[in-house]
Structure 1
Amino acid sequence: MLNDAPSGASAGASPAPADKIRCDACPVMCYIKDGATGACDRYANHAGELVRVDPHVVLERTVSHGGQIVPFQKVGDWDGNLVGKDKVFVTAIGAGTTYPDYKPAPFIVSSQVDGVDMVTVVTEGIFSYCGVKVKIDTDRYLGPETALVRAQGEAVGHVMTSEYGSQMLSLGGVHHLTGGSKKEGRVTCDALMDLSNGKAVELTIDGGATVVVQAGQQPIVNGVKEERMRVGCGSATIGMFAKQWLGKVDEVVVVDDHITGVLSEHQAGKLLDIPDTGIKMKGRRSTPGRYFQVADPGTGWGGTNISDPLSILGPFDAKEAKAGLRMLMVSTTGEHSAYFELDDALKPVQKDLPPELQQSVERIQENCEPALCTVLFMGGAGGSLRAGVTDNPVRLTRSVKDALTNVTSGGAPVYVWPGGGITFMVDVTQMPQGAFGYVPTPALVAPIEFTMRLSDYAALGGHMDHVQPLSSLKDTTEVLRQGPPAAAGGAKGAGQP
């Protein structure tokens, strides 16, 4: 189907030409000619009728898989009748929007659950106030906190904090979508939609790395696919594996860009009666056996910028060190390791790693979580969106805070932040594929559903005269059911709605 540019798309423009129809699904208000779609590719002119290009999606609840993420599959040879009504959850995917917001939500669907009259109000929200939080599980240094993150050269977000082997990016937000240049807004919108729909996006970090991010996949940092995140900081690694090193080695240094651990000084080593070795570390000593800032961050050993682990050591103390002292140096992922023995001058000399120590390095690797990208869509359901649910929007907010109303996004569970408004966050891998769209204002279009007792819906001032039964959803509805757990690298997943 052809795409039609949004000519004459400002509010209050003259009526549509005879060969075009006006779409009112978003503020752009495209004029669309027959056989073409609007600028968002979501609405089209079909023989003079405005139609939604994508089908409205409902989910069939199947036997629980114990909370596992499982793939959504299309129901084969569907006859247009809904499957068992008690197993159906109506999503907002493909439902349409409420713009210009005073209109009731496109679907306000009643059903019975365990004998209780329920209602689900669904709408595709237009989110200018939205973004994604990206959690990247890797030992690799990506860039300094607060550094700009760019896509196609445009600023789309910034680096947040590092959380125990995971590095966080905050992308999007209203200032990048609407507060900069048109190109910045368009690129930001494209990046957010691609990430939310499970596609790969290449990002560059000022003063840092280039990283390819894709929800549910390993990050690719500077062209190299990451394998694992750290098992813990250097101190934690000492605590976990100290007993396994007892008697096999005299000293262990676990290199980490945050906290480097030293076995003989660490409390775990003291409790095992490991004697002092005379080792001298560079960096800032914190508590015994724990050192900060032994090197700058980077892509080398343990997330530091070093390639030679001996560069973080000073001369051994001759009063405590002895020739033949055995020392293992290892990173927090086990990716890097080296074995040394002190010569007569108390200088470390590298030797082959003994098999018993090779096993401990492999044990560190075994205990590391796989490197992974997690994408969480985050948006604020503002006053305008809530008007599609009730004529008194604040009551919906209070109902959500009081746990009378359950919020989902594409059938997936969400986390609703405390405080004002309905600010929610959802793991995009738990949503059906292609759940997100856009409008060229620019803004993202995301599904949101509110489910509550029918009596509670009436009490909050809901649009009761627009409630319709499940049986009314036939003509443009697509049913997805959850199949067996996906194999690694298989279909996009979704959680039990």
Structure 2
Amino acid sequence: MTEADEKIRCDACPVMCYIRPGMTGACDRYANEDGQLVRVDPHVLLDHAVSEGAKVAPFLNAEGAWNGDILKTPGPFVTAVGAGTTYPDYKPAPFIVSSRVDGVDMVTVVTEGIYSYCGVKLKIDTDRHLGAECAIVRAEGEPVGHVTTGEYGSQMLSLGGVNHLTHGGKKEGRVTCETLLSLSNRKSVELVVDGGASVIVQAGKAPIINGKLEERMRVGCGSATIGMFAKQWGDKVDEVVVVDDHITGVLSEHQAGKLLGMRDTGIKMKGRRSTPGRYFHVAEPGTGWGGTNVADPLEIVAGFNPKVARSGMTMLMVSTTGEQYAFYRLDENLRPIEAELPETLRESVERIGENCEPALCSVLFMAGAGGSLRAGVTENPVRLTRSVRQALTTVTAGGAPVIVWPGGGITFMVDVTLLPANSFGYVPTPAIVAPIEFTLRLDDYAALGGHVDEVRPLAEVVAQHAERPNTIFASGAVARRVGARRKA
């Protein structure tokens, strides 16, 4: 037998690698072991998927009570992590597993989907300006996504998608795939926004923006901060300005100040007045005070009305995280002169910081489960989509709950920190490989035209595939990995 004859062809993705004995394919997920095509990564079965230290249910206790919430109820669950794929489309899913739960016959269909139509949504808790909306986001100099609309206290990025994966140049697709894979597997990635900031992001970690570690998510906009803390300032200072790129708050004009009987101070603010005590666009966006581009907060103050203001009047200026603050007294020319912050005001500044949540990066993987996946579940794929819509079928990813978008298809999002470590892979087409599971009653599975002949009891699956048992801890999940093997 020649060396060429010893190669086997992998059909787990469109690349169709020929693999020599003892070697892996281009994706490093499948290998030639003694003439058999084997899955390199072990298959993951969850014993329990809540916080570490919680009581772990006995493995294979399939008769345990189940209330429909896979993550919160102890009990075994077959994930698709390491299970293999349904590619080509006509093959049933690698594992279609039955169990009897609380007297009900259940089926879980598991497969690793190959997703060209996928991406991640990044929520970065910061007031810092990362870049203009629609600005290109780059990794290794290649475009991998864009800045999207900001949310309350967070900057949002949308990365990936089929256009970056397949419609750009070869390097763009490769870098996009690597970026999505790293972020989904909770690794750090450096991103640069055109005309904006450099940011290092990692799921569950604080962002590093232009080399500075973020610590806090803002307590609220400037107006909201005034509303929350007005009573702590009412009798201690004449004026408070909470600097914010979106809505800067001015205590004496704000309704909260009026209700406390605050006197007018004659302050004149730059920007556009919206309603009393609320100002838009006092400065340009940036990485300075309150997400503006100012390093000196007095830049947003146009002056004081001499008919109202008086010498000796006091003013506190503070950011929406409490990280920047300054205290001033007006001199005889009504110019603010910085002074030491009185102890009576220090507690209120610290209270703003206390009420800020820790800054974090949140990564949501998003993908559309198309024909390959559904054909692996049923010979009539649209019935699976309808079953998901009717809540007869529960969709999970690596055992984690997902958000299924309304409308056509099965488009879902999942928080990557809820999955076991390294749940995501790739194929060089390029595309991301991610686990997905469909759980439903056995009779419902038969009704939607499922591959009933391929259903196997959970105990049989474990008995035949528990070749490399190991207990791991990842994302608070206690998982048992078993080797997944399939014939070429």
Q: Deviations over 1:228-264 (max 9, x none)?
A: 1110000000000000101100100000000000000
Hey, what's the Cα distance between the residues in 2 that align with 1:268 and 1:383?
A: 56
Alignment of 1:55-70 (within 5 A): 55-61=42-48, 69-70=51-52
Q: Deviations over 1:28-59 (max 9, x none)?
A: 00000011100000000111111110111110
**Among candidates 113, 117, 125, match of residue 125 of structure 1:** 113
Which residue identity lines up with residue 102 of structure 1 in the other structure? Y
Partner of 2:274: 286
The yes-or-no answer on 1:99 pairing with 2:76 is: no
Which residue identity lines up with residue 29 of structure 1 in the other structure? M
SS in structure 2 of the partner of residue 37 of structure 1? coil
* Bigger Cα displacement from structure 2, 243-252 vs 81-90: 81-90
Q: Deviations over 1:332-388 (max 9, x none)?
A: 000100000111111111000001111111000000011100000000001221000
Hey, what's the Cα distance between the residues in 1 that align with 2:53 and 2:147?
A: 31
Partner of 2:315: 327
Partner of 2:67: none
Compared with structure 1, are the counterparts of its residues 188 and 73 closer, same or farther at alpha carbon in structure 2 (3 Å cutoff)? farther
| Counterpart contact for 2:127–2:290, Cα < 8 Å | yes
Hey, what's the Cα distance between the residues in 1 that align with 2:460 and 2:186?
A: 31
**Among candidates 84, 92, 97, match of residue 61 of structure 2:** 84
Report the Cα offset of residue 137 of structure 1.
0.5
Partner of 2:40: 53
Alignment of 1:154-169 (within 5 A): 154-169=142-157
Hey, what's the Cα distance between the residues in 1 that align with 2:147 and 2:329?
A: 41
The yes-or-no answer on 1:469 pairing with 2:457 is: yes
SS in structure 2 of the partner of residue 395 of structure 1? helix
Partner of 2:17: 30
Q: Deviations over 1:458-481 (max 9, x none)?
A: 000000000000012234347787
SS in structure 2 of the partner of residue 314 of structure 1? strand
Alignment of 1:71-470 (within 5 A): 83-86=60-63, 87-470=75-458
SS in structure 1 of the partner of residue 269 of structure 2? coil
| Counterpart contact for 2:471–2:478, Cα < 8 Å | no
Hey, what's the Cα distance between the residues in 2 that align with 1:289 and 1:480?
A: 61
| Counterpart contact for 1:429–1:493, Cα < 8 Å | no
Hey, what's the Cα distance between the residues in 2 that align with 1:480 and 1:258?
A: 51
| Counterpart contact for 2:6–2:21, Cα < 8 Å | yes
Hey, what's the Cα distance between the residues in 2 that align with 1:392 and 1:192?
A: 31
Report the Cα offset of residue 101 of structure 1.
1.0
Report the Cα offset of residue 331 of structure 1.
0.3
Hey, what's the Cα distance between the residues in 2 that align with 1:372 and 1:82?
A: 34
| Counterpart contact for 2:90–2:376, Cα < 8 Å | yes
Which residue identity lines up with residue 26 of structure 1 in the other structure? C
Q: How many residues align?
A: 465
Which residue identity lines up with residue 376 of structure 1 in the other structure? L
Report the Cα offset of residue 84 of structure 1.
2.2
Compared with structure 1, are the counterparts of its residues 132 and 73 closer, same or farther at alpha carbon in structure 2 (3 Å cutoff)? farther
Hey, what's the Cα distance between the residues in 1 that align with 2:55 and 2:179?
A: 26
Hey, what's the Cα distance between the residues in 2 that align with 1:44 and 1:192?
A: 24
| Counterpart contact for 1:377–1:425, Cα < 8 Å | yes
| Counterpart contact for 2:62–2:101, Cα < 8 Å | no
Hey, what's the Cα distance between the residues in 2 that align with 1:166 and 1:72?
A: 32
Report the Cα offset of residue 140 of structure 1.
1.3
| Counterpart contact for 1:239–1:268, Cα < 8 Å | yes
Q: Is there any run of 5+ residues in structure 1 with no aligned partner, and where?
A: 1-14, 76-80, 484-490
Q: CA RMSD in A?
A: 2.1
| Counterpart contact for 1:121–1:389, Cα < 8 Å | yes
Q: Deviations over 1:3-28 (max 9, x none)?
A: xxxxxxxxxxxx99302110000000
Hey, what's the Cα distance between the residues in 2 that align with 1:40 and 1:70?
A: 32
Scaled by the length of structure 1, the TM-score of the pair is 0.90
Partner of 2:29: 42
Hey, what's the Cα distance between the residues in 1 that align with 2:296 and 2:95?
A: 63
Report the Cα offset of residue 85 of structure 1.
2.8
Hey, what's the Cα distance between the residues in 2 that align with 1:330 and 1:82?
A: 55
Which residue identity lines up with residue 109 of structure 1 in the other structure? V
| Counterpart contact for 1:57–1:479, Cα < 8 Å | no
Partner of 2:485: none
